[in-house]
Amino acid sequence: MKTLKVAQSAGFCGGVARALKLAEEALVQHGTCWSLGQIIHNDDAVQRLEATGLHTAKHPEEIPDGATAIIRSHGASRAVIEGLRSRGVTVLDATCPNVRHIQDLASDAERRGRKVLVIGDAKHPEVIGICGWCEDAAVVENESELMKWLEEEPARKDFPLTLVFQTTLQRKIQRNCEFFSKKLCTNAEVFDTICCTTSIRQEEAATLASSCDAMVVIGSPQSANSRHLAEICRAHCNNVQFVANASELDVHALKGADTVGITAGASAPAWIIKEVKQKMCDEIRTETIEQPETVTELEEKIEAEKSFDELLEESIKTIYNGQTVSGFVAGITATEVTIDLGTKHSGYIPVSEFTENTNSKIEDIIHVGDPIEAVVVRVNDVEGTAMLSKKRLDAVRYWADIEAAYENGTVIEGTVTEENKGGVVVSVNGVRVFVPASQSGVARDMPLTDLVGQTVRLKITEVSGRRRIVGSIRAASREERHAKSEKIWAEIEIGKHYSGVVKSMTSYGAFVDIGGVDGMVHVSELSWSKINKPADVVSVGDELDVYVIGFDKEKHKISLGYKDPNANPWVMFTEKCEVGSVVNVRIVKLMPFGAFAEIMPGVDGLIHISQIANRRIGKPEDELSVGQNVDVKITNIDNEKQKVSLSIRALGEAESSVKYDEESAADEPVGPEEDALVYEVSASGEATGIAPEDTAE
């Protein structure tokens, strides 16, 4: 081996370094503490910490009540964290900010009624934690599993899907999943949540492996990002070793290589990287060692780990009033939130900045370990403190958001806080926006008070300095409705289902808003049973699951169905009954030529006058009355016309309620049995049609 190349991104990422720092501080302060799962995926580093008092718990139940517990950078579910706090456990949250961002995306997606789909390893603690911040999330590992998941239930392609990715996933898998989801799904939003450090590390590994004769990847087999690095290197180099430490390195396998590259996963400590490199240098003569092309030299990067005190001294830097700083919540009291800025100054923010305009407790808003940004208000070098303000920083950023929304014409969200003269006031992240009554979306004769407390969407229509900002809820609603309408007309097809709201009703049907477009459900499509008017089934404001049965794009008309096809009474009837079956029916209408009887709700049959008794009768009401229940025999079923012929006479003398009079029956002719099928019944229950001439008189 002549040349050794070390990847400049090898080693700890920011999230892992933060978790270890938090663990070291906790051990100094408490003497002993617990980690829920290995603090990092590296046995050597974990053993070092365990020797100083860090205990590893595989399950939350193993952590004693009242103890101090660290949530590692992979994060944990909401239920786990709340469960620990309910037992008096002091929770130090070292969740990586990138992972926390995914958890927030999942939680927000659930709040908006969307289905969360996580692309990653279902058994990885990061993915398990993400799924714990929403209900019923689905997990697939790659693009092939995504395709299979969509094909298992075709309706999933129309789900409102939100896709997020495990932070350490291979970039290739992310790109493929994003491509297929946008191609196959009608309502999918995709968030690229792969850690930028991971992407850089993977790209660098691919480039390095392509230029080397051999590669050494340092990392634990339990580390997902380390495994992915090894997979990427193997795709570009035939000689790849994946080792946890120097003892696993096979130096002899490297002797024939002129150029060897080294990279390491995010959980590989600097001292292990140095040991591997040193072993290669000691046992194989090298002429050149290429250093990474960064300001910080490799030797400085992989020095033996420094103590916390040395790192603290190294991080001392000056801060000044008006500067924007970032840090992590180190402690919370009744009056202030302490912020670790990584400097000699200890920052603090008054609790009132977090709890103002809310009834929530500070513990419900922010937690120890949360990342935070703020503006320096006042520095006290004597006491070593810095007063910070998150509110001021937010105000600057939110004002910029307001101006951007005005310039770009984008829709923003806020909460109506009060009714004002001539309109209402909407708070958009603390910025007051006035909405005139004419732009509120409320009818002129309706009170504006009902809007107070509601979350609304609006467009900014006027910005006059910082004193006056005017918005329009009506404009936002109109624009969003138009966009939804265009989307519906572009994607509409027969049989497609929509969730809609009943907007109005007429005597012949109900108009349903399916999200920007109104469609009509005819009265005949509202129920399988006979109804007189739409109000018998639905009311204005009802949410309905409807489906398209017809549409005209030119006339912008949509016909919708509401009846459940699975509840079709004719199908249910034909499954239970057949010609020759004896059923008990209820007489619902009497006509000169016979009686209509309800076999089951939605299915009626005709008992022709010649089939009512075993003798000639003058009219049906001589033997039957409306509401009477009688046993009949099914003599014919016409599936095409959905008509049923019934007969009391066919039951025979023993089953009939009327005795058979052979003489009277013989004296009078009886029309053909098929005459019983000549009838029609309207949707309102009125019988029409022509009765047989020999019996209609």
> Residues with Cβ < 8 Å from 166, sequence gap 6 or more?
118, 119, 120, 121, 124, 126, 127, 130, 193, 194, 224
Alpha-helical regions (H) of 51-96:
78-86
Q: Taking a C-beta distance cutoff of 8 angstroms, is the pair 594, 537 a contact?
A: no
Give, for 167, the enclosing helix (H) or strand (E).
none
Q: Which of 269, 241, 302 is nearest to 45 (CA)?
A: 269
Tokens coding 16: 């892992």
Contact status, residue 639 vs residue 574, Cβ threshold 8 Å: yes
Structure tokens at 559: 């016909």
For residues 28 and 94, what is the distance between their CA atoms, to the nearest angstrom? 17
Identity of the amino acid at 545: D
C-alpha distances in Å from residue 345, one per residue of 18, 306, 318, 412, 564: 18, 21, 9, 38, 67
Name the one residue in this structure whose structure tokens are 């392609």: 157
Report helix angle 196-210 to 171-184, nearest 10: 120
Give the active site residues.
Answer: 126
Q: What would the 3-class secondary structure string for 108-155 be?
A: HHHHCCCEEEEECCCCCHHHHHHHCCCCCCEEECCHHHHHHHHHHCHH
Give yes or no for a contact between 385 and 346, defined as CB atoms under 8 angstroms apart: yes
- In residues, how long is the chain? 697
Distance in angstroms (rounded) separating the CA atoms of residues 184 and 207:
33
**151 within 8 A of 184, measured Cβ to Cβ:** no
Q: What is the CA radius of gyration of the chain?
A: 38
Could you identify the residue written with the tokens 């997979």? Answer: 231
Contact 80, 132 (CB under 8 A): yes
**Nearest CA among 54, 99, 56 for reference residue 76:** 99
Where does 224-345 show beta strands of DSSP type E?
240-243, 259-264, 288-290, 324-332, 336-340
d(CA 254, CA 119) in angstroms, rounded, equals 36
